[in-house]
Structure 1
Amino acid sequence: MSDPDIVVVGAGIIGVACALQLARQGRHVVVVDQQEPGMGASYGNAGHLATEQVFPIADVSILKRLPGMLLDPMGPLRLDWKYLPRALPWFARLLLNLRPARYQRTVAGIRALNEGSLGAWQRLLTSIGRAHLLREDGSLLVYERADSRDALRALQQRMQAQQVPVTFWTADAIRQAAPQLSEHIQGGLFFPGTGHFLDPFQVVCELVDAAKASGVQFLKRQVLDGRLDQHGVSLTTAQGPLSARQVLIACGAHSARLTAALTGKKVPLDTERGYHLMLPHEPHRLPFAVTSLERKFIMTPMTDGLRLAGTVEFAGLDRPANMQRAWQLHRLSKGLFHDDLSAEGATPWMGFRPSLPDSLPVIDRVCDGKVLLAFGHQHLGLTQAAVTAEMIGELASKGQTPLFTPYRLDRF
């Protein structure tokens, strides 16, 4: 195999979307990953096109919640106490980014990506003849307790201030749209500018097929190290060396080590470990994705069932999954429907969502253009994948310092 123009390290939704974009620009592209395409976080995400989620993953209330995060193994936001020493520097940086100026910069950065996400996905899926995989039918955030109404209305005002399309729905409106939901639900916020994917893994597979048809090669290899040279980039893999003029690092939560090796920059990348429980006998319970304000999880209808997803666990990349957190999602669903959801044949899953303390991704071109970067999208990787691919295509083709200031590597 001749040396490619660019090696994409990472075969998740972002890496694959970027590879297709680059190949369509005439590049000889090779994608490398130690797993089959789409088998990391892209396999088990919530499937929600979350354009409404323009705020960071945490706010100042995280200080009050820290004891509960450490003590409640089933809580919606969990910090493994054994991981605490390694997590403290990351959390310290997170708190610094909650200062007003930085917080507003983060919101502006997330909002800018999200505002372009739906259109980018429409263009991408239409270009491969798979527009039907995205349902653009909105999503709903519901509340059950009367004392939650003020918090919901306050959230509505905050989102309206960020130009997020949102409408308050009464309990009657919710029952008309989703009649199987419980009468305990008192109202909610409907987000018309969102949607959901019928099968996130199939989306990756369809993009892989399109990429292969455009000449992209996929190699199952583990990248161990890398260095820059006069010709470009040399990667060390478990199966031997691999060289190219450029490299794109898009391997999610595993991106920090290779970024440091190639750029000398230590990126404060951690992982939100996310869980889901797939219920194969419940594909028709909901017409669109529904999130519970109080219970803090989301339910997304898909071709193969209803996916319950959510919760955040900070425990690093090495500790084994606590699948009780996945099964907890079924317990959380009790009372949200007239009849409880069936867990027969349910399958649990855990994946690593790459998170930086300012909740913004790195989308950049560094080292004289030899290194491109696209990682750190936290729980918005699926949402922002298509627009990120367009941005990477622009960075690769223009050959100049990027204008995407909020997402640059040198902010760290």
Structure 2
Amino acid sequence: MSQNASQHDADIAVIGAGIIGVASALRLARQGKRVIVLDPQEPGHGASFGNAGHLATEQVFPIADTSILKRLPAMLMDPMGPLRLDWKYMPRALPWFTRLLLNLRPAPFQRTVAGLRALNEASLDAWRRLLDDIGRADLLKVEGSLLVFERSESRQAIDALQARMRQQGVPVDYWQVGAIRETAPQLSEQIQGGLFFPSTGHFIDPYLVVCELVNAAKAAGVKFVKQAVRDGVVREHGVSLVTENGGVTASQVLIACGAHSARLTAALTGKKVPLDTERGYHLMLPHEHDRLPFPITSLERKFIMTPMTEGLRLAGTVEFAGLERPPSMERAWQLHRLSKGLFRRDLNVEAATTWMGFRPSLPDSLPVIDRVCEGKVLLAFGHQHLGLTQGAVTAEMVGGMVMPDAGNRVGGLPAIQAYNLDRF
């Protein structure tokens, strides 16, 4: 006999307690739903813990371009390169990279850019609404970000990027070296100029953002359970999940567990999603509090530096090595080596801490945000390195999928068709 909705443990079971899952859980609770969040880790201890903290609304292009073919030998041979493919993982990664290259053809490329633009253009306002709702607007600084270059031969690439950004409606200004020195005087005299993105922001403590959302969600009745979900099945009146300590039933389930979402998506929907992971690293410098006014990225060195309440976070590098291989924390320390020469005085690495996290990536650089299985299964994963940026707007879209009238009260939300599951 089927279990009816009144007997369910929750109206909606959210799988994943990262920024997407927690923000969505709060949104759904605010809409009057009984919500349970399931994750084997404490909330915010996955990719959401160590991200760069940058709300990267300017990043409207795919995660790679056709030059990746030329870089493949270096990706395999250089363990410290900014984009690395572990040679042991290569047989599993090649089908994903093949699909990535196919998505760089003109038509799919334009679909990707349009999809990223739609999410990014709605992201900052969505974050303002969410943080205002929990009374923590102070956690977000919307003061822009800067991409700097050091070599004269890089000016052509900078100009081309600026033109492409403007063509896509991204606010961007060219800054001469004088403006950069006035704003960030501790940067090296090697800096020759850069692009300033005024409509970007950063969090002063990304993990605290998750914690504050969790507190608000608990106050709204959301239940957090530290359990792994092993399996699940869609039934007539809802969804039954198998956890490590038993089972959970709900009228609907939201899969929002980032790089770990493919297996459960396949179990519940029968759809195999080409989800892989960009392993990202950071180096946190607790004695660096006054070096930079806002996030600054190096064009040539390919990493970002974000000022936070706990110090300066150096983040970046992409490593394709799957979910199983242990982290190579030497890649985190490589970020400090990359910083040498960017400042008048080298950064202080005393008491520095390292971190690695899994960023969920799909070969078209777009997330899956969808409602399938007659509405019993909701999907919100695959945001690659834009999960933090797109977290609040994704939560609003999830709320709209569950209660369309509630979603309509928020203007300017992207249409979910661009992010549907059936594109694979």
TM-score range, shorter chain: over 0.9
Give 1:409's match in structure 2, choosing from 404, 414, 421.
Answer: 421
Aligned counterpart, 1:13: 19
* Separation in 2, partners of 1:277, 1:264: 39
Aligned counterpart, 1:154: 160
2:391 matches 1:354: no
Give 2:315's match in structure 1, choosing from 295, 309, 313.
Answer: 309
Aligned counterpart, 2:51: 45
The one-letter code sitting in structure 2 at the alignment partner of 1:294 is E
1:67-86 to 2 correspondences below 5 Å: 67-86=73-92
2:142 matches 1:136: yes
Shift in Å, 1:406: 1.2
Aligned counterpart, 2:217: 211
Shift in Å, 1:3: 1.6
Aligned counterpart, 1:127: 133
The one-letter code sitting in structure 1 at the alignment partner of 2:18 is G
2:135 matches 1:118: no
2:239 matches 1:233: yes
SS across alignment from 2:403: helix
Give 1:373's match in structure 2, choosing from 370, 379, 382.
Answer: 379
TM-score by length of 2: 0.96
Aligned counterpart, 1:282: 288
SS across alignment from 1:41: coil
Residues 99 and 363 in structure 2, CA contact (< 8 A), matched pair in contact too? yes
* Separation in 2, partners of 1:83, 1:113: 31
1:318-370 Cα offsets, whole Å, 9 max, x none, are: 00000000000000000000000001000010000000000000000000000
The one-letter code sitting in structure 2 at the alignment partner of 1:236 is V
Shift in Å, 1:398: 2.5
* Separation in 1, partners of 2:158, 2:211: 38
1:211-263 Cα offsets, whole Å, 9 max, x none, are: 00100000000100000111200000001010000000000000000000000
Shift in Å, 1:278: 0.1
* Separation in 2, partners of 1:261, 1:224: 10
* Separation in 2, partners of 1:269, 1:93: 11
Aligned counterpart, 2:186: 180
2:96 matches 1:90: yes
Shift in Å, 1:403: 4.3
* Separation in 2, partners of 1:16, 1:404: 20
Aligned counterpart, 1:29: 35
Change (3 A) 1:155 1:84: same
Shift in Å, 1:72: 0.5
Shift in Å, 1:168: 0.2
* Separation in 2, partners of 1:398, 1:256: 26
Aligned counterpart, 2:252: 246
* Separation in 1, partners of 2:213, 2:179: 37
Shift in Å, 1:179: 0.5
Aligned counterpart, 2:71: 65
* Separation in 2, partners of 1:28, 1:182: 53
Shift in Å, 1:136: 0.5
Alignment coverage as a number of residue pairs: 411
Shift in Å, 1:405: 1.4
Identity %: 75
* Separation in 2, partners of 1:57, 1:407: 16
Aligned counterpart, 2:268: 262
* Separation in 2, partners of 1:160, 1:120: 23
Aligned counterpart, 2:410: none
Residues 15 and 21 in structure 2, CA contact (< 8 A), matched pair in contact too? yes
Aligned counterpart, 2:115: 109
Residues 8 and 251 in structure 2, CA contact (< 8 A), matched pair in contact too? no
The one-letter code sitting in structure 1 at the alignment partner of 2:67 is S
SS across alignment from 1:60: coil
Give 1:383's match in structure 2, choosing from 382, 389, 392.
Answer: 389
Aligned counterpart, 2:208: 202
SS across alignment from 1:140: strand
Give the CA RMSD over aligned residues: 1.1
1:19-66 Cα offsets, whole Å, 9 max, x none, are: 000000000000000000000000000000000000000011111111
* Separation in 1, partners of 2:186, 2:404: 51
Shift in Å, 1:2: 5.5
Residues 367 and 381 in structure 2, CA contact (< 8 A), matched pair in contact too? yes
Q: Which runs of 5+ in 1 are unaligned?
A: none
The one-letter code sitting in structure 2 at the alignment partner of 1:343 is V
The one-letter code sitting in structure 2 at the alignment partner of 1:273 is R
* Separation in 1, partners of 2:198, 2:8: 48
Residues 306 and 313 in structure 2, CA contact (< 8 A), matched pair in contact too? yes
2:341 matches 1:335: yes
The one-letter code sitting in structure 1 at the alignment partner of 2:116 is I
* Separation in 2, partners of 1:132, 1:242: 37
1:92-115 Cα offsets, whole Å, 9 max, x none, are: 100110000000100000010000
Give 1:363's match in structure 2, choosing from 353, 360, 369.
Answer: 369
* Separation in 1, partners of 2:206, 2:283: 14
- The runs of at least 4 consecutive aligned structure 1 residues that moved more than 6 Å come to none
SS across alignment from 1:341: coil
Residues 123 and 390 in structure 2, CA contact (< 8 A), matched pair in contact too? yes
The one-letter code sitting in structure 2 at the alignment partner of 1:408 is N
Residues 8 and 250 in structure 2, CA contact (< 8 A), matched pair in contact too? no
* Separation in 1, partners of 2:417, 2:321: 30
Give 1:190's match in structure 2, choosing from 160, 178, 196.
Answer: 196
